[in-house]
């Protein structure tokens, strides 16, 4: 009887070791996946924090250009392209009569792409601008 119980004890130790090994492997996998998702969340936060800076940059660009690429810090790259939708110089009505407005109005569509590591986010905005028209001297 004693020999059988000693052999059974070895089998129990082998099974317990197998269970312990598999639980350690599962825990390591969960830590690894947690780190991967934490890194993705951090990358997303970095891109989101750069969006206001990208919009402010686009306020200063010459929309006569059709596109460009700019580095906006922290390894984030802004790729943009501009498409003119409409240009107009409206008619202004005064009590003395009507005349053309001293401003030209421009409407553009801007496509933005923010790139960071393997993550990219795309945005599209409409941008309204105006410019004072310089009268032609004759």
Give the whole-angstrom CA distance, residue 83 versus residue 112: 12
Residue 75 has φ and ψ, to the nearest 5°, of: 60, 20
Q: Is residue 3 predicted with pLDDT exceeding 60?
A: no
Give the whole-angstrom CA distance, residue 135 versus residue 75: 45
Residue 138 lies in a domain: no
Q: What pTM value is reported for the model?
A: 0.68
Residue 123 lies in a domain: yes
pLDDT band for 137, please (50, 70, 90 cuts): low
Residue 93 lies in a domain: yes
pLDDT per position as a tens digit, 16-63: 999 999 999 999 999 999 999 999 999 999 999 999 999 888 888 887
Residue 128 lies in a domain: yes
Domain that holds residue 21: 2-132
Question: Which one, of 55, 51, 87, 83, lies nearest residue 67 by Cα?
Answer: 83
pLDDT band for 97, please (50, 70, 90 cuts): confident
> How many domains, in total, are found in the chain?
1
Residue 136 has φ and ψ, to the nearest 5°, of: -80, 125
Q: What is the distance of C-alpha 60 from the center of its chain?
A: 20
- Torsion sign (Cα): 54, 60, 61, 63: positive
Residue 137 lies in a domain: no
Residue 113 lies in a domain: yes
């Amino acid at each position: 009887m004693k020999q059988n119980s000693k052999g059974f004890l070895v089998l129990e130790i082998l099974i317990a070791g197998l269970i312990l090994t598999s639980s350690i492997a599962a825990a390591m996998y969960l830590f690894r996946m947690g780190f991967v998702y934490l890194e993705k969340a951090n990358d997303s936060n970095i891109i989101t924090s750069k969006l206001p800076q990208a919009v402010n940059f686009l306020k200063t660009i010459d929309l006569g250009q059709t596109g460009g690429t700019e580095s906006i810090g922290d390894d984030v790259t802004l790729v943009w392209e501009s498409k003119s939708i409409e240009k107009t110089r409206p008619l202004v009505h005064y009590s003395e009569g009507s005349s053309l407005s001293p401003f030209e109005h421009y409407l553009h569509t801007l496509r933005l792409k923010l790139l960071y590591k393997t993550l990219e986010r795309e945005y599209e905005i409409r941008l309204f601008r105006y410019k004072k028209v310089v009268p032609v001297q004759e």
